[in-house]
Amino acid sequence: MTTKLLLERTCDIANKYLDGVRERRVGSLAEFGPLVQSLGGSLAAGPTEPLQVIEHLAETASQGLVATAGPRHFGLVIGGVLPAALAADWLASTWDQNAFSFVLSPAATAVEEVVRQWLLELLGLSPEMSMGIVTGGTMGNFTGLAAGRHMLLARAGWEVEEQGLFGAPEFAVLTSDESHMSVFASLQMLGLGRSRVTRIAADEQGRMRPDALREALSRLTTPALVCAQAGNVNTGAFDPLDAIAQLVHDAGGWLHVDGAFGAWAAASPALRHLAHGLSLADSVSVDGHKWLNVPYDCGFIFVRDQNAHQAAMMLEAAYYAPPRTPARANHHWVPEASRRSRGFAVYAALRSLGRTGLAELVERCSRLAQRFAERLSAAPNVRILNDVVLNQVLVRFEGANADARTAAVIRRAQDDGTCWVGGTTWHGMHVMRVSVSNWSTTESDVDRSAEAILRCAAMERS
């Protein structure tokens, strides 16, 4: 079997999956043990024909696949994959380019510079900002906070990358009460401690309160690393970034903004007012695999002070061949050395959408979230708990025991398989979360999903 035939057969398998993904049950009912058993067993002593391997993998994995590439997965914040991005990602694997450096891949390096410029313009950020393409929002937060840590300690005369934190001058870390868990995970990895932070109170929509931040800053005797967010993971609400930036900078601090999905609002003329002040941040983390709808894994970190960014990610060795002519050094901006050339898929997504296509994608998903909220809240005893400003909807099924009822409706909806929605706790209440982030979701997908959810709710009542 030639590689050509293998890839053609694999392409057929992929196309068959994509043809069916719209009508496939969305969640998987597979159980871990049986799945491991059917995929595994002892490894054959000798080789197996590649096509046999792929056909077995495709057939066996199928039951354990979740249709996140389809239009009705509304859990977490999950994007799909734009066709151009998928195709470019196939090429990235085929070309097997290491995005580490120009010498290893001039094309991967040039494409990162191109998407840096495009993304900064689309998001209304300074064209001077440095950019790293990381695995996602978590590593984006990690990298931005590492740059902030560098800067605050460098100003105090301390080289944290050389000396570590042993005996370092103190600085404060302020997060919102509503910061995403990945901010705390990043702080934990940076030696800044997840519990040592001061959490600033948020309002009823989950927005950091500037008055509370002002008060916390006024009590400090050290500089502060402040983490705000554009897009609360539950409500989609934006921290008042302009007011926050002013306070942080007046106090000589570093402002990091977690804009995993919400930062894309800045690419829409109709929604960019929500992200007002984003351009004032010192570092901004944004996900690619969520709302930009490129394949996993992909995220971006943008940093205003290129020196701080580069110093925090310093990675040099004598055998890293330098380019013969000046070029972007991809490895200066990310925690990894060797890595996938994620830039190709980003390039293809942005080029295929264009400026208007990206704005339309963000606006369409936000309109569909409104529609979801309207459809669900038209039914008795269904309450929408958030202002649906973006793509997130929080739903509560009220009644005698609303927490248990909401949890039961979520379970039923997941079992039903028409769509997939998850749950969370919001202000002490169990709620259903709906996130509309997939490029292929239509009005009829929303109507069909809302009907399925309401059917589940009706069954729960009876």
Ligand X SMILES: Cc1ncc(COP(=O)(O)O)c(C=O)c1O
Tell me which residues touch ligand X (CB under 6 A). Answer: 76-77, 136-138, 180, 182, 229, 231, 233, 258, 260-261, 287, 299
Helix or strand or coil: residue 160?
A: helix
Q: Which residues in 204-341 belong to E strands, given as ranges?
A: 224-229, 254-258, 283-287, 299-303
Query: Residue 396 pairs with which residues in a beta bridge?
Result: 383
Cα separation, 448 vs 456, whole angstroms: 12
Closest CA to 235 of 273, 269, 274: 274
The answer to whether 273 and 122 have CB atoms below 8 angstroms apart is: no
CB of 118 to ligand X, least distance (A): 20
Start-end of H helices in 276-319: 306-312
Closer to ligand X by Cβ: residue 109 or 182: 182
Closer to ligand X by Cβ: residue 223 or 299: 299
Whether the bond into 96 is cis, omega within 30 of 0: no
CB of 190 to ligand X, least distance (A): 15
CB of 360 to ligand X, least distance (A): 22
Strands 130-134 and 254-258: unpaired
Nearest 5°: the CA angle 420, 426, 428 is 130
Cα separation, 338 vs 459, whole angstroms: 52
Nearest 5°: the CA angle 245, 224, 192 is 125
Closer to ligand X by Cβ: residue 142 or 158: 142
Cα separation, 447 vs 400, whole angstroms: 27
Closer to ligand X by Cβ: residue 256 or 331: 256
395 Cβ contact list (under 8 Å, min separation 6): 373, 376, 382, 383, 384, 385, 406, 431, 432, 433, 434, 453
Closer to ligand X by Cβ: residue 158 or 184: 184
Query: Would you list the DSSP string of 335-361?
Result: S-SS---THHHHHHHHHHHHHHHHHHH
CB of 131 to ligand X, least distance (A): 16
CB of 289 to ligand X, least distance (A): 6
Closer to ligand X by Cβ: residue 85 or 382: 85
Closer to ligand X by Cβ: residue 182 or 268: 182
Closer to ligand X by Cβ: residue 182 or 418: 182
Name the one residue in this structure whose structure tokens are 């007011």: 243
Residue 327, Cβ density class (10 Å: 0-12 exposed, 13-18 middle, ≥19 buried):
middle
Crossing angle of helices 443-461 and 343-377, in 10° steps, is 50
The answer to whether 436 and 372 have CB atoms below 8 angstroms apart is: yes
CB of 287 to ligand X, least distance (A): 5
CB of 80 to ligand X, least distance (A): 15
Cα separation, 208 vs 202, whole angstroms: 4
CB of 139 to ligand X, least distance (A): 7
The answer to whether 124 and 302 have CB atoms below 8 angstroms apart is: no
Closer to ligand X by Cβ: residue 212 or 233: 233
CB of 78 to ligand X, least distance (A): 8
CB of 52 to ligand X, least distance (A): 34
Looking at residue 26, the DSSP 8-state letter turns out to be S
CB of 285 to ligand X, least distance (A): 7
Closer to ligand X by Cβ: residue 253 or 299: 299
